[in-house]
Amino acid sequence: MYRLGIDLGSSFTKGVLVDENNRLADVFCVRSGYNFNNAAEKIIAHFTEKHEVAFPVYTCGYGREQIKVPFISNSELIALSKAVFEIYKRSCSIIDIGGQDTKFIQVNSQGQVEKFKMNRKCAAGTGSFLEEIAFRLDVTPAEFTKFAAEATGEVKINSFCTVFAISEIIGMIKNGASLPNIILGIYNSIILRSSELSLVEGYVVITGGLPAMHPTIVSLFKKKYPESDSPEHSQFLAAYGCVLLNTSK
């Protein structure tokens, strides 16, 4: 019998299937849209088509209590820490960049959360920031990565506000800055924004939907923090942690 973890986030709902040995058996992701229950049902339908799944399911994220099947909800930060500790088994600093939140979590050598911080009430530096800019520039995430690789230098994006950042970028284009250099600047502004959350110490683990979709971000983080890693399926780790949290008890 498999267990199901679902992270109902602001942009995407991520589901994981966990086997009896606590191994990640499968992952699946859909857009959250306006109805978290619909998103969760799609996840459940996807997994139950081929597997026998136990209920309750284990949830976290903004829509964690907005589903109709039996569930146990969890804090996504605690769940994420649990999953990261399960993988690395060491104290570390987690930087997680999701659709709407950027999170910093300090995990101690026992796997407990020592300290955490979330971005202020502003989407700059989150996935939404990048999505909005990508939409305005008419560039896909894959193209973002391609363009960033072509950068010959970096332009600095100064604005905190997503909308004003776009005006700033339009101004840069007008003044002849190249798109690859601008995109590298956008990536670096995200890294800079995340570094404001807290002093980052020790081993760094980079997680979340944004790093998963933008490998250049991970490379830039690794350059900044040489002792770092971004695990496979990093945007699914909070969902995975939900199951683990309820297994260890």
Partner 1 sequence: MSEKTTQDKSELVKLQSAGELRKTMDGYFSRLREAAETGSRKIAWCTSVGPAELLYSMGFEVFFPENHGAMLGAGKNADKYIPTAVAHGYSPDICSYLTSDIGAFLQNETPLQKSGFKSVPTPDILVYNTNQCREVEDWFSFYGRHFKVPVVGIHTPLCITDLGPEIIKTVAEQYHRIIPELEKVAGVKFDIDRFRETVGLSHDGCVLWKEVLQKAKNIPAPINFFDSAIHMGPIVVMRGTQYANDYYKILLAELQERIEQHISAVPSERFRLYWEGMPLWYRLSNLAKLFAKLDTCIVASTYCNSWVFDDLDPADPFESSALAYSKLFIVRSDTVKENVLDQLMQEFSVNGIIYHESKTCARNSNNRFGLQNRLLKRNGIPYLEINGDLNDPRCYSEEQSIIAIETFIDQLSGQIK
User: Contact positions toward partner 1, by CB under 8 A?
Assistant: 56, 62, 65, 70-78, 100-101, 112-118, 120-121, 245-246
Minimum distance of partner 1 from residue 186's CB (angstroms): 23
Q: What is the DSSP letter of 2?
A: B
Q: How far is the CB of 211 from partner 1 (least distance, A)?
A: 20
Nearest distance, CB of residue 82 and partner 1, angstroms: 10
Nearer to partner 1, 159 or 246 (CB): 246
What is the C-alpha separation between 9 and 64, in angstroms, rounded?
A: 8
For every residue of 183-235, DSSP letters joined together read HHHHHHHHHHHHHTSS---SSEEEESHHHHH-HHHHHHHHHH-SSEE--TTGG
- Minimum gap (Å) between residue 4 Cβ and partner 1: 15
Q: Which is nearer to partner 1, 29 or 245 (CB)?
A: 245
Q: Measured from the CB of residue 70, what is the shortest distance to partner 1 in angstroms?
A: 6
Nearest to 18 by CA among 8, 32, 28, 9: 28
* 11 versus 73: smaller Cβ distance to partner 1: 73
CB of 80 to partner 1, least distance (A): 10
Smallest gap, in angstroms, from Cβ of residue 5 to partner 1? 13
Contacts of residue 199, Cβ cutoff 8 Å, sequence gap at least 6: none
Is residue 17 within 8 A of residue 1, CB to CB? The reply is no
Helix (H) or strand (E) holding 106: strand 102-107
Specify the residue, 104 or 147, whose C-beta has the smaller distance to partner 1: 104
Kindly give, in sequence order, each residue whose CB lies less than 8 Å from that of residue 64, ignoring residues fewer than 6 positions away.
8, 71, 73, 74, 76
Q: Which is nearer to partner 1, 145 or 246 (CB)?
A: 246
Closest to partner 1 by CB, 66 vs 228, is 66
Distance (Å, whole) CA 154 – CA 215: 18
Q: Which is nearer to partner 1, 113 or 134 (CB)?
A: 113
Rounded distance between C-alpha atoms, residue 56 and residue 43, angstroms: 14
